[in-house]
């Protein structure tokens, strides 16, 4: 679950957040392993090396195996499409891992959605510097959650992108990744905004869930929670 502090997010988007400061290597806690850090190759990659420099790329061994399996399968379904991760956990397994409510113990990870340009050509990565923040808005206002009395706090909300944005959600590749993850017994749940859950065809999938209005929007990334 990602609780986004706008100030931190703004810093993140401009690359100025000190949670990405280079930290000396730390021996990971038992059970935690590092994800691949090569941003240029392989089916499973960080959105940027800053996630590795900040040592926020540790997961449990089953989570790494599940992610690697989904990434290899997605490459077969959609050649040239890596699974791109952002925030995972610290090597010492302490949680929570701010600004998240969770993360930190290696069982949670945030993955990028897939996007196209305005003409439908696949983009290689999310169109933001951090990988977060490219929100896919609901098609109808009636599908929007967390309005009125349930409105997210200002620090947890995100703005819809402009209608004339140069990118669009790639529903096919995003849905395939959700399908692959949901089919993995190691995956406990996947957080997605309700309008995307329905649009992508997961209305009857109990693993795909709404994170609630106390959490940040989950129509710019997937939060995957492993057992």
Structure token pair of residue 122: 């696949």
Task: List helix spans (H) across the chain.
Answer: 6-13, 50-53, 61-77, 171-182, 194-199
Contacts (Cβ under 8 Å, ≥6 apart) of 87: 2, 51, 56, 97, 100, 103, 109, 110
From the CB of 156, what's the least distance to Zn ion, in Å? 13
Strands, E assignment, 128-198: 167-169, 187-191
3-state secondary structure of 108: strand
From the CB of 213, what's the least distance to Zn ion, in Å? 16
3-state secondary structure of 140: coil
From the CB of 27, what's the least distance to Zn ion, in Å? 25
Instruction: In whole angstroms, give the CA distance from residue 219 to residue 158.
Output: 10
Using DSSP bridges, classify how beta strands 58-60 and 32-34 pair: parallel, antiparallel or unpaired.
antiparallel
Binding-site size, Zn ion (CB under 5 A): 3
Mask for 133-172, x = binds Zn ion (CB under 5 A): ----------------------------------------
Q: Which of residues 56-115 bind Zn ion (CB under 5 A)?
A: 110
From the CB of 148, what's the least distance to Zn ion, in Å? 25
Mask for 198-227, x = binds Zn ion (CB under 5 A): -------------------------x----
- Our CB check for Zn ion shows the closer of 78 and 182 to be 182
Minimal CB distance to Zn ion: which residue? 223
Q: Are 217 and 103 in contact (CB under 8 A)?
A: no
- Our CB check for Zn ion shows the closer of 15 and 98 to be 98
From the CB of 50, what's the least distance to Zn ion, in Å? 17
- Our CB check for Zn ion shows the closer of 6 and 75 to be 6
- Our CB check for Zn ion shows the closer of 2 and 107 to be 2
Instruction: In whole angstroms, give the CA distance from residue 128 to residue 118.
Output: 15
Instruction: In whole angstroms, give the CA distance from residue 224 to residue 56.
Output: 15
From the CB of 1, what's the least distance to Zn ion, in Å? 6
Q: Which of 2, 64, 152, 195 binds Zn ion (CB under 5 A)?
A: 2
Where along the sequence are the contacts to Zn ion (CB under 5 A)?
A: 2, 110, 223
């Amino acid at each position: 679950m990602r609780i986004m502090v706008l100030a931190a997010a703004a810093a993140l988007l401009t690359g100025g957040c000190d949670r990405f400061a280079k930290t000396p290597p730390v021996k990971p806690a038992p059970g935690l392993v590092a994800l691949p850090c090569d941003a240029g190759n392989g089916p499973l990659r960080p959105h940027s090396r800053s996630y590795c420099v900040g040592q926020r790329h540790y997961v449990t061994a089953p989570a790494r195996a599940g992610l690697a399996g989904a990434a290899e399968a997605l490459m077969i379904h959609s050649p040239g499409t890596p699974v791109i991760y952002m925030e995972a956990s610290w090597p010492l397994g302490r949680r929570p891992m701010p600004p998240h409510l969770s993360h930190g113990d290696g069982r949670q990870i945030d993955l990028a959605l897939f996007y196209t340009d305005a003409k439908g050509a696949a983009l290689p990565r999310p169109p933001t510097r951090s990988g977060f923040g490219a929100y896919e808005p609901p098609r109808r206002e009636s599908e929007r959650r967390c309005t009125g009395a349930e409105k997210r706090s200002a620090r947890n909300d995100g703005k819809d992108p402009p209608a004339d944005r140069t990118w669009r959600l790639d529903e096919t590749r995003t849905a395939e990744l959700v399908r692959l993850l949901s089919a993995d017994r190691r995956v406990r749940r996947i957080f997605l905004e309700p309008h995307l859950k329905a649009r992508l065809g997961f209305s009857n999938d109990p693993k795909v869930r709404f994170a609630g209005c106390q959490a940040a929007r989950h129509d710019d990334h997937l939060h995957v929670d492993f057992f």
